[in-house]
Amino acid sequence: MQGGPSGIGYGLNSWSRARCISDVKADTDHTSFITGTLSLKEDNEVHLIRFSSDGTELICEGLFSHPNEIWDLVSCPFDQRMFSTVFFTVSHAINPTRDWDADWLRNLLPNNVVAQILATPIPAFQQQEDTVFWNGSPDGTFSAKSAFELLQQQHVVLTQQEESWGVLTNSVRFARHLAATPIFSRCEQSPETPLHLLRDCYHSRLFWEAASLLPPDFFMLGFNEWLWKNAQTSATSDASRHNWSTLFLSAIWVIWKNRNALIFDNQKTPPYILFQQASSLARDTSLGLATNILAHPRLPRWVRWFPPNFPFLKLNTDGARSQASGNASAGGLIRDHGGQWLHGFAINIGPQTNYMAELWGCRAGLRLALEMGLTHLVLEMDSLLAVQAILARKTGDGPASILLLDIFHLVNSFEVCTVQHTLREGNAATDYMASIGQTLTQGTGFFQSPPPGIRSILHKDSIGTLFLRT
């Protein structure tokens, strides 16, 4: 394949007009790649094309009736090329211990793809159905907040955000064929845009003029600049004697509520009454911000690690995501009633969330305890969210459900297994083990004896040292 890169094209009968969707790095041996993105059809029409300075050359073409599998591109030192299906499915990448076969995957795929696969949990004990979940939130459930955050991550410009998330005024409803007219029903003169509704309508203008000492350009700015500038000013309103930005934002809310009362309940409120409502809201807001009424002083609290009662052994686990690398890690250890180390582990999970790391560490620790033949176990974690999910036996719809179902199965496998929450200060040893996970190659490491750096933590835990939580 010397002379230029190759590409995979599909979808058109004429190979010269086929769309290149994937570069293939061919050599005298073979190159493997995934075809799951080629087509949703039953058959994939694939063309291997070589591009060079001399032009474009069709090397081979064909129909393949096994989508969503791994294809093997067999290359020979001659001009004749051919495709062959090797019939690889996901099960080929799973070893007998129900873990990903990292070496097998690395022989086929780029390292960054392998890292993402290894960080994807697979069921360890029971077959589970594939589930579609929302990728914008850690638990797989959809929310408007997560969708908006996803838009921001995609660097959507402000005008697109306004179109997607702006208030549903009559102008927007008319543009979407949801209203017969864009005219604002209060004044019946102009289209109901956000700026007209909040500032330029005759009734809104009377409201603002009651405030006195308006900025000189108050009625001349465009919507974004008007909103941004007035929401940040530190000036004081002459009429209400409140901070102008507080009064301004309170007024925006009052005008919008009044608009809805007019539309849905036909309630009409004079502008001076609206101004009194906005002033009252601004006063209450300023009072709350100034006196911090809702704040409660946090009392100091002493925290320690408690050993289990005989014959129980205690498993502590922890997991976290590194902000620097983006990789998640987990760790844990099993101790007896005297605080003595029995076994420990650390995992480099790969690109994952904090919550998934907590569950990943929990599952790994329970598997280790079961393999050790333990029967009476106390599972302790500092993730309240994870502990609540385990105790409630609720999995949700996201990728965490895979780990949670395995955890439920493991907990039921012991004669007695209690699950409880502890504070971070009482879980320092597992925090250290999780930090070791960041230094490992992707996978799990087991420790029959404690690492040197954790010995002082184990000693403090065994003698009941108290740690201050403020």
Question: Which of these three, 32, 59, 88, is where a domain ends?
Answer: 88
pLDDT at 433: 94
Same domain, 272 and 247: yes
Mean pLDDT of 235-256: 78
| Confidence bin at 142 (pLDDT 50/70/90) | confident
pLDDT of residue 36: 34
Count structural domains, the chain: 3
Quote the percentage of the chain above a pLDDT of 70: 71
| CA-wise closest residue to 198 among 224, 161, 180 | 224
Q: For residue 235, what are the domain limits?
A: 166-291
* Residue 110 resides in a domain: no
Secondary structure of residue 90 in the 3-state scheme: helix
Neighbours of 456 (CB within 10 A): 11
Residue 207: closest CA among 254, 252, 272? 272
Residue in 207, 210, 301, 222 with CA at minimum distance from that of residue 253: 207
Q: Are residues 335 and 465 in the same domain?
A: yes
Tens digit of each residue's pLDDT (9 = 90 or more) over 333-343: 999 999 999 99
Q: Are residues 212 and 324 part of one domain?
A: no
Is residue 456 assigned to a domain?
yes
| Residue 293, pLDDT score | 53
**CA terminus-to-terminus distance, the chain:** 65
Are residues 241 and 313 part of one domain? no
* pLDDT bracket for residue 8 (50, 70, 90): very low
Judgement on whether residues 269 and 390 belong to the same structural domain of the protein: no
Cβ atoms of 35 and 10 within 8 Å: the answer is: no
Residue 157 located in a structural domain: no
CA nearest to 208, candidates 255, 143, 261? 255
CATH number, domain with residue 462: 3.30.420.10
Do 66 and 173 sit in the same domain of this protein?
A: no
Tens of pLDDT, residues 251-264 = 899 999 998 898 88
Q: Flag whether the pTM goes above 0.75.
A: no
134 occurs within a structural domain: no
Task: Mark which of 240, 256, 291 sits at the end of a domain.
Answer: 291
DSSP-assigned states of every residue in 398-432: STHHHHHHHHHHHHHHSSEEEEEE--GGG-HHHHH
**What local confidence, expressed as pLDDT, does residue 308 receive?**
94
In a domain, 70, yes or no: yes
Q: Are residues 208 and 173 part of one domain?
A: yes
| Six token digits for residue 113 | 């793809």
Per-residue pLDDT tens digits for 279-320: 889 888 887 776 655 556 677 889 999 999 999 999 999 998
Task: Say if residue 90's pLDDT is above 80.
Answer: no
Same domain, 306 and 200: no
Cβ-contact 270, 435 below 8 angstroms: no
pLDDT of residue 67: 45
Q: Are residues 193 and 284 in the same domain?
A: yes
Q: Does any domain span residue 93? A: no
Rounded to an integer, what distance in angstroms lies between the CA atom of residue 49 and that of residue 149? 40
Q: Are 373 and 448 in a shared domain?
A: yes
Residue 123 lies in a domain: no
Q: Could you tell me the sign of the dihedral formed by the alpha carbons of 322, 327, 328, 331, in that order?
A: negative
Find how far residue 354's CA is from the centre of its chain: 10
Q: Give the lowest-confidence range in 160-174, 202-216, 375-389, 410-424.
A: 160-174
> Do both 282 and 429 map to the same domain?
no
pLDDT tens-digit map of 28-49: 343 333 333 333 334 444 444 4
Has residue 424 been placed in a domain?
yes
Query: pLDDT-based confidence at 241, cuts 50/70/90?
Result: low
Q: Are 332 and 317 in contact (CB under 8 A)?
A: yes
Shared-domain flag, residues 311 and 450 = yes
Residue where one domain finishes, among candidates 256, 291, 326: 291
